[in-house]
Each structure stands twice: as structure tokens, then as C-alpha cells.
A and B are shown apart, each in its own frame.
Chain A
Amino acid sequence: MLLRKSRLFVLQLVSVALICTGLVQVSWAGAIGTEQIIESDARATSIERIDALLAREDVASQLQEYGVDPAVIEARVRGLTTAELLALENRLDQQVAGGDALAVIGIVFLVLLILELVGVTDIFKSI
């Protein structure tokens, strides 16, 4: 009798455990985890941000002054690996420490920095 009771208890315990794990799985399985999208999207976001900078009129005219076609830069940006792209973007972020890039460092410097980072010039050897 005692044995039966304890066996029943174990069975109940096991079934509760099964139900719990079952519930946890149901609520999330079938959805795609963030880690699966992170790299492709990080790349797209970086390219977008740099393109947006290049598309600005003041940046474009500054590039023209240096005789550089923005399309050349855009093509080079797309040729970078994801790691290189993120490093480039991060460098831009760090130069301005979270502020608005153009307001803090000025267009001329920003343009030179982009040119340097994508390998068109090598003015800032130390950067």
C-alpha cells in the first residue's frame, strides 16, 4: 500500500514535470531566435547607415571636392566583410562617442575618415 502510494506520487511528479517542459516549449518553439538573424541584419544596418551618410548633400559635395565619386565608396563598402563593416561603423561611433557624427567632428573630417576606412586614402595612419 505504502509502496503504491509513493509510486503514484512519483508518477504525478513526472507528469507535472512533463507538462511544465511541454508548456515552455510550446510558447517559443516555432519562432526564430534572434541569434539566427543577427549577422545578416547587422550587415544590412551598417551598410544602410553608411549609405545614409554618403547620401547627404554636404557629404557628397565634400567628396566631389576631393574628386571621389560617392558610387565608388558605396561599392567599396559593399565589398567589405561583415566584421570589417562593423569595425568601420564602430570606429565612426567611437570618434563621436554617441553624438551626431557631423555635428561633433565636422563634415571634412568625417569624409576623410570614411575615405581612410574604406581604403581610398591613407591620411590617418594611426587611426
Chain B
Amino acid sequence: MRRSGSGRRLLAVLLFGLAGCAGIPDTVRSLPDEDIAVELVDTPFFAQDRYQCGPAALATALVASDAKVSLEGIERKVYIPGRKGSLQFEMLAATRTSDRMPYLLDKSLAAIVAELEAGRPVVVLQNLGLSWIPRWHYAVVVGIDGNDDRVVLRSGTDSRRITPIDLFLRTWARSDFWAMSVIRPGEMPAIVDRARYFDAVVGLEQAGMAESAALAWQAALDAWPDNPTALFGLGNARLILEDYAAAEEAYLAMLAVRPGFAAAHNNLAFTLAKQGRFQAALEEISRGLEQATDQLLVDELIDTRAMIELELKNTAEGLRPTD
């Protein structure tokens, strides 16, 4: 009798502990439709070796998006042997260098469902230990079923792990609901936050994936026509690709919606100089200097002018014999 009494107390403590963890906000938990049932059965599966859940999960999502990658290639990019794991930062970086755009989802099951319905599995970071003995784990959500109360995951060595929704939410909550979708450049996330989308595209630009960035900015312009940031970004992507005529067109379109935007005058001047149109380039610098209020921008414009004048001088000297 005594034993069962203390057992009951233990059970009560355990239940209380679980209840304490279950403080999941309704905004995270609620499904768009209680009867929702979606599963991407064709999602590939890569069984992980020991600690390498990061590479396995990322390879799953990348291959599902038709990226030309191998598990070994992804391992080299994200796995840190000393840490026996991967950082979220590296997961994002490896996605970019695989010609895909990582997009961090809203912190909600509904956001995962929306991505699944768009045909994209979702990489999540879970903590399968206790909050004070962490065991971080990346897995891929491939299905959610509201009726049967379950989340279907590609996880570890389990090609189809089924977890009750509440248990999934508790393990996911400890990463502050980190969830990432792998977007083919040119496609839009199912639920899109414009600022976050722009940050994602800038990530592509900074990773040197100009072709992908150009596609992503073009998609932004389809969603938000004449958006100046997207026009400027498209100009930059074209500039990196050395497609100067297209870059010029984008900067001009940006200046049409944002007259006097000094940074666009600067980059347009740069683009014109690249095409050998030095006088027009110098005029753009002057227009930029008339408008620029920020000292950093003024400095950039002056630097660009110096560069244009140098190239003008070099070209003039080079051309003299034929002039």
C-alpha cells in the first residue's frame, strides 16, 4: 500500500512536470483545420550515423527539392566533428550553397502544414532530452494528421517515426520552434513574411549565389510589383552576374519608384561605368551626391567616382593610338 502511495505521488509529480512543460501557446498549436491530414510519402530518407542528424535531415529536404546533393557532400558542409552536431547557422549556409533558399517558418504548426501542402517537407530542431539534459536533434516533418493526432517524421534511423502532436510540440518548443523550409529560388513560401523573405534573399546574395538571388527577387516582384528593395536587389544580382544591361534596367526602375535614392544612383553609376559609359556614370554620381544625406553613402559615392575616373583615364590612355 505504501509503495503504491508513493508511486502515485511520483506519478503526480511526473504529470505535474509534464503539464508544466505543456505551456504551448494556442497560436503555435492550432491547426488550420482539425481534420487536416497531409503526408509527403515520396520524401526520401537518409538514415543518420550516430550524431549526424543535421546532415541527414538537411539532405532529406534538399533532395526533396530536387537539389543535386549527396549526404556526404552535406556532411562536409555542416557536420562539426568536435561538437558532434551541426549549428542552425550552418544548416542555413549549406542550403544556400546548394542553390536553395532557407526560409525560417512562423512558429506554428499551421505554418508547417502550409509548407507540407505546398509539397515541401520541413526541417525542425527538437530537444529529445530534458531541458536541463539537452539532446538536440534535427528531424524532417513530412506529415501531420489532426484526426489521428500525430506528426510523421523522417528522424534518425527511423524512416517514418510517428509522434503524438503534443509530444512533438514539447520537444520542438525547446528550440523555440525552429523550423526551416527549403525553397527553390523563384518559388514563394506558403505563408510569406515579406521582411523575412527579403532577408533570406539577401542571404543568397551574400553567399554569392547571384543566379538564385536573381530568381528570388524576380519572384518578389511578381508578389509585390515595383517593390523598390526587390528592384535594387535584382539590379545587384544582375550586376554580380555581369549582365549590366539588365542591372541598369532594374536600377532605373527602382529610381522611378524612389526618385533620388542615392544608393541606386551609386550602383547605376557603377553599372554604366562597366559598360564604358563613363560620362553618364559620372552624372549619376552627381545626382546621388545631391541627394545623399548619410555620410557613409557620400563616402561610397566619392569612392565610386574615383574608381570611374581611374577607369576613364586608363581607357583614354589605352585608346589614344586609335583615336
Q: Residues on A close to B: CB < 8 A? A: 27-28, 30-38, 41-42, 44-45, 86, 89-90, 93-94, 98
Q: Residues on B close to A: CB < 8 A? A: 191-195, 198-199, 201-202, 205-206, 223, 227-229, 232-233, 236, 239-240, 242, 258, 261, 263, 266-267, 270-271, 274, 297, 300, 303-304, 307
Q: Across the two chains, which residue of chain B brings its CB closest to A94?
A: B191
Instruction: Kindly state the separation between the CA atoms of A86 and B300 in the bound complex, as whole angstroms.
Output: 28
B270 touches A31 (CB 8 A): yes
Q: 7 new A-B pairs (CB below 8 Å) besides A27-B239, A31-B266?
A: A27-B274, A30-B303, A31-B270, A38-B199, A45-B227, A45-B229, A90-B193
Q: Across the two chains, which residue of chain A brings its CB closest to B228?
A: A41
Of the residues A30, A37, A86, contact of B195 by C-beta under 8 Å = A86
Residue among A37, A42, A89, A98 with the most chain B CB within 10 A? Answer: A37
Of the residues A28, A36, A94, A98, contact of B263 by C-beta under 8 Å = A36
Q: Across the two chains, which residue of chain A brings its CB closest to B296?
A: A36
Of the residues B233, B258, B274, B307, contact of A34 by C-beta under 8 Å = B233
A41 touches B236 (CB 8 A): no
Instruction: Kindly state the separation between the CA atoms of A86 and B193 in the bound complex, as whole angstroms.
Output: 9
Instruction: Kindly state the separation between the CA atoms of A120 and B233 in the bound complex, as whole angstroms.
Output: 36
B267 touches A42 (CB 8 A): no
Q: How far is the CB of B56 from chain A (nearest CB, A)?
A: 31
Instruction: Kindly state the separation between the CA atoms of A33 and B303 in the bound complex, as whole angstroms.
Output: 15
Chain B residues with Cβ under 8 A from A33's Cβ?
202, 205-206, 236
By Cβ-Cβ distance, the 3 closest A-B pairs, closest first, are A34-B233, A32-B263, A41-B229
Instruction: Kindly state the separation between the CA atoms of A59 and B223 in the bound complex, as whole angstroms.
Output: 23
A34 touches B236 (CB 8 A): yes
Chain B residues with Cβ under 8 A from A36's Cβ?
263
Instruction: Kindly state the separation between the CA atoms of A98 and B192 in the bound complex, as whole angstroms.
Output: 9
Chain B residues with Cβ under 8 A from A27's Cβ?
239-240, 242, 274
Instruction: Kindly state the separation between the CA atoms of A96 and B227 in the bound complex, as whole angstroms.
Output: 19
B229 touches A31 (CB 8 A): no
Chain B residues with Cβ under 8 A from A42's Cβ?
194-195, 198, 229
Q: Across the two chains, which residue of chain B brings its CB closest to A32?
A: B263
Instruction: Kindly state the separation between the CA atoms of A41 and B195 in the bound complex, as whole angstroms.
Output: 11
B227 touches A28 (CB 8 A): no
Chain A residues with Cβ under 8 A from B194's Cβ?
42, 86, 89-90, 93
| Given A44-B258, A45-B228: A34 in contact with B240 (beta carbons within 8 A) | no
Q: How far is the CB of A98 from chain B (nearest CB, A)?
A: 7
A30 touches B307 (CB 8 A): yes
Chain B residues with Cβ under 8 A from A28's Cβ?
239-240
| Given A44-B258, A86-B194: A30 in contact with B229 (beta carbons within 8 A) | no
Instruction: Kindly state the separation between the CA atoms of A30 and B201 in the bound complex, as whole angstroms.
Output: 20
Chain A residues with Cβ under 8 A from B297's Cβ?
32
Chain A residues with Cβ under 8 A from B193's Cβ?
86, 90
B229 touches A34 (CB 8 A): yes
Of the residues B198, B228, B236, contact of A31 by C-beta under 8 Å = B236
A31 touches B195 (CB 8 A): no
Instruction: Kindly state the separation between the CA atoms of A110 and B16 in the bound complex, as whole angstroms.
Output: 44
Q: Across the two chains, which residue of chain B brings its CB closest to A36?
A: B263
Instruction: Kindly state the separation between the CA atoms of A36 and B206 in the bound complex, as whole angstroms.
Output: 12
Chain A residues with Cβ under 8 A from B232's Cβ?
34, 37, 41
Instruction: Kindly state the separation between the CA atoms of A98 and B232 in the bound complex, as whole angstroms.
Output: 22
Chain A residues with Cβ under 8 A from B266's Cβ?
31-32
Instruction: Kindly state the separation between the CA atoms of A5 and B303 in the bound complex, as whole angstroms.
Output: 42
8 CB contacts below 8 A, A to B, read A27-B274, A32-B263, A37-B232, A37-B261, A41-B258, A41-B261, A90-B193, A90-B194
Chain A residues with Cβ under 8 A from B195's Cβ?
42, 86, 90
Instruction: Kindly state the separation between the CA atoms of A33 and B206 in the bound complex, as whole angstroms.
Output: 8
Chain B residues with Cβ under 8 A from A37's Cβ?
229, 232, 261, 263
Residue among A33, A34, A35, A45 with the most chain B CB within 10 A? Answer: A34
Instruction: Kindly state the separation between the CA atoms of A28 and B49 in the bound complex, as whole angstroms.
Output: 41
A98 touches B205 (CB 8 A): no
Chain A residues with Cβ under 8 A from B201's Cβ?
34
Residue among B198, B223, B266, B271 with the most chain A CB within 10 A? Answer: B198
